[in-house]
Amino acid sequence: MKKLLILGAGTAGTMMANKMRKQLARDEWDITIVDQYKTHYYQPGFLFIPFGMYTKNDVIKPKSDFFPVGVNVIYSKIDKIVADKNQVLLDEGVVLQYDYMIIATGTRTAPEEVDGLKGNLWYKDIFDFYTIEGAVALAKYFKTWQGGELVINIAELPYKCPVAPLEFAFFADAFFTERGMRDKVNITYVTPLPGAFTKPRATKMLGELLEQKNINIIPDFNIMEVNNEEKKIIDYGGKEIPFDCLVSIPTNMGDDMIERSGLGDDMNFVLTDKFTLRQKDHENIFVLGDAANIPTSKAGSVAHFAAEILEENLMCAIEGRPLTAKFDGHANCYIETGYGKGTLIDFNYDTEPLPGSFPFPGLGPFGLLKVTRTNHYGKLMFRWIYWHILLKGKEMPIDSEMQMAGKKL
Amino acid sequence: MDKLIAGVNVSVNEEGYMTDSSQWTKEVAAAIAAEEGIELTDKHYELIEFVRNKVANGETLTIRGIGKSGVVSAKEFYGLFPGAPLKKATKISGVPKPTSCI
Ligand SMILES: Cc1cc2nc3c(=O)[nH]c(=O)nc-3n(C[C@H](O)[C@H](O)[C@H](O)COP(=O)(O)OP(=O)(O)OC[C@H]3O[C@@H](n4cnc5c(N)ncnc54)[C@H](O)[C@@H]3O)c2cc1C
């Protein structure tokens, strides 16, 4: 029997288990998937928790609900990949052998990377919402918060779901307005980027939205430390910003296991060819999702588009053919803007987010770079699609390759 | 387009970044630095060499990477190139402006 090994059973790993079980004959191929946890979190739902729109129960399901029949599942922490021997070491000494492997171990938040971030005020006046623990703690805090300086800070690039901190700011504006205390809350968005987003048109549109909603933006801020005593954040250039409540997007890093295995960059993201999705130094290792160092957004939608490319290329590799599929970096992100409305961006390695309609040219129903009610429903629908279609690796009526039709240059 | 820097014609883009890294010399670097209000010291040149080597090897530049380079700490890096250190350091090193990707 030949062996396909999948590391990580999050969005990307689960999709690939479903896709590859359909592709590979059961009497020829063993498929094994490994993860340290039994619970699958719908991470996009974390954004809604601090504002009481979702609770923990809305975002969790057992991972086992999503694995196809005929896949071996191991719940264990992965200790190290020994790529030269085609081996993976698990905690407790188990050794797994593979012919082909997919790394899908995602990214984790690393608050310890910024001095003082995980200090006295951690989960007292300083929170993250990229973990279930942080999102739940912040929901509790906001219930009784009297207002003051609300500072949202992105520690470092890259971070997953690059629009989530903006959505958080928009939601906070609506939340405190609806509670009749917006005049007591000053919201400041502090980012290492030169503006609200990376690309010109999206930056302009989202920057204007921040302004309309009376949210201050402080760009080019690279945080050096959090001063817990004086409640302020300080950047390398010496700029200081006081806070009463700090919502941090801590440094995002790949798993430490990648560093131990010598397969990553200085943030533990796996060195990956951005077109073929193959690991840079090993022909039988492929990488999908947030774990890869490819220059596109770290998002579930990206993992979904890339999964189709990976499926094709993995089959090429297994059958000894040249890799024919080429990933274009396609990303598609719904952005909540508050008050039951949202916007949408669609882009890839080469093309910045442009205005227009999606997915059907001229018809929509979704509007690109426009604030509409339908876009908000798109985001809410995404949770259903995620659980029922995306994780199971089923086809969606959206091309994996980005389309120019329907867009205005 | 071409620009006369330190007495030589150097090709640059609209933002003033050199488009042909091989045209770089210490004199050109000093002239670009002066436009940015920076006087280059030995420490600057040491860092410039690190930056040029990184880029020549096809590696991406980050503040974190420079902080771990052994040449300077992240804080010292800000001291050498105040304000926007990565943008200024790359411009003076004659390599492309790093693109932030999120
Ligand atoms: C607040 C927030 C909002 C978001 N909103 C959106 C959105 O609107 N749209 C969108 O498309 N995306 C969104 N995302 C991003 C999306 O959730 C991720 O990009 C996606 O889940 C990545 O999938 P993945 O499989 O690469 O990683 P994950 O789903 O994180 O899975 C990685 C898995 O690997 C396991 N693992 C890691 N290391 C080890 C180890 N050493 N041993 C064993 N197991 C290990 C982990 O336990 C985990 O189960 C959001 C994320 C957050 C945090």
Bridge partner residues of A107 (DSSP): A254
Checking if the pLDDT of A253 tops 80, the result is yes
CA–centroid distance, residue B66 to ligand 1 (Å)? 28
Question: Is A138 within a domain?
Answer: yes
Residues A208 and A124 grouped into a single domain:
yes
Residue of the CA atom closest to atom 37 of ligand 1? A105
CB contact under 8 A, A157 and B100: yes
Residues A196 and A247 grouped into a single domain:
yes
Under 8 Å between Cβ of A328 and A282: no
CA–centroid distance, residue A345 to ligand 1 (Å)? 20
Residues A92 and A138 grouped into a single domain:
no
For A299-313, the pLDDT digits (tens) are 999 999 999 999 999
Question: Is A277 within a domain?
Answer: yes
For A346-391, the pLDDT digits (tens) are 999 999 999 999 998 888 899 999 999 999 999 999 999 999 999 9
Question: Is A130 within a domain?
Answer: yes
Give the pLDDT score at A273.
Answer: 97
CB contact under 8 A, A236 and B77: yes
| B15 catalytically annotated | no
Of A271, A293, A318, the last residue of a domain is A318
Residues A127 and A242 grouped into a single domain:
yes
Checking if the pLDDT of B102 tops 90, the result is no
Give the pLDDT score at B60.
Answer: 77
pLDDT confidence band for A185 (50 / 70 / 90): very high
Of A231, A251, A271, the last residue of a domain is A251
A219 vs B: CB within 8 A:
no
Choose among B68, B82, B100: nearest Cβ to A193. Answer: B100
A322-333 mean pLDDT: 96
Residues A195 and A234 grouped into a single domain:
yes
Give the pLDDT score at B69.
Answer: 84
Instruction: At A225, list the tokens.
Output: 């430390």
Residues A122 and A245 grouped into a single domain:
yes
Find which of A266, A333, A349 to mutate to test the B interface (most B CBs within 10 Å of its CB): A266
> Burial code of A213-234, b = ≥16 C-beta within 10 A, e = fewer?
bebebeebbbbbebbbeebbbb
User: Containing domain of residue A183, as a range?
Assistant: 111-251
Among A52, A46, A44, A39, smallest CA distance to A10 is for: A39
Cβ contacts below 8 Å, chain A against chain B, sum to 44
> Burial code of A65-76, b = ≥16 C-beta within 10 A, e = fewer?
ebbeeebebeee
* Number of domains into which chain A is organized: 3
Residues A301 and A230 grouped into a single domain:
no
Torsion-angle region of residue A72: left (phi > 0), alpha (psi -120 to 50) or beta?
Answer: beta
Among A175, A209, A218, smallest CA distance to A49 is for: A175
- pTM (predicted TM-score): 0.94
Instruction: At A294, list the tokens.
Output: 């490819």
A200-220 mean pLDDT: 95
Checking if the pLDDT of A129 tops 70, the result is yes
Give the pLDDT score at B74.
Answer: 87
State the complex-level ipTM. Answer: 0.78
Among A108, A110, A128, A121, smallest CA distance to A226 is for: A121
Question: Is A97 within a domain?
Answer: yes
Residues A209 and A244 grouped into a single domain:
yes
Give the pLDDT score at A231.
Answer: 98
Of A160, A386, A391, the one to substitute when testing ligand 1's pocket (max ligand atoms within 8 A of C-beta) is A160
Q: What CATH number is associated with residue A153?
A: 3.50.50.60
Question: Is A401 within a domain?
Answer: no
Instruction: Kindly list the domain boundaries of chain B, sorted by start residue.
Output: 2-93
Checking if the pLDDT of B63 tops 90, the result is no
Rounded to the nearest 10 degrees, what angle do helices A11-23 and A300-318 cross at? 30
**By mean pLDDT, which of A15-29, A75-89, B85-99 is the weakest?**
B85-99
Residues A275 and A341 grouped into a single domain:
no
Pocket of ligand 1 (CB under 6 A): A 8-13, 34-37, 43-44, 46-47, 77-78, 104-106, 129-130, 160-161, 164, 255, 257, 289-291, 298-301, 303, 333-334
B residues 52-71 near A, CB within 8 Å? 60, 62-65, 68
Checking if the pLDDT of A145 tops 80, the result is yes
What percent of chain A is predicted at pLDDT more than 70?
A: 100
Question: Is A326 within a domain?
Answer: no
Question: Is A348 within a domain?
Answer: yes
Question: Is A395 within a domain?
Answer: no
What percent of chain B is predicted at pLDDT more than 70?
A: 97
Choose among B65, B77, B101: nearest Cβ to A158. Answer: B101
For A106-119, the pLDDT digits (tens) are 999 999 999 999 99
The rounded mean pLDDT for chain A is 96
For B16-54, the pLDDT digits (tens) are 999 999 999 999 999 999 999 999 999 999 999 999 998
CB contact under 8 A, A198 and B60: no
Q: Select the more confidently predicted residue: B66 or A139.
A: A139
A281 vs B: CB within 8 A:
no
Checking if the pLDDT of A84 tops 90, the result is yes
Give the pLDDT score at B101.
Answer: 64
B2-to-B6, B9, B17, B90 alpha-carbon distances in Å: 13, 6, 11, 18
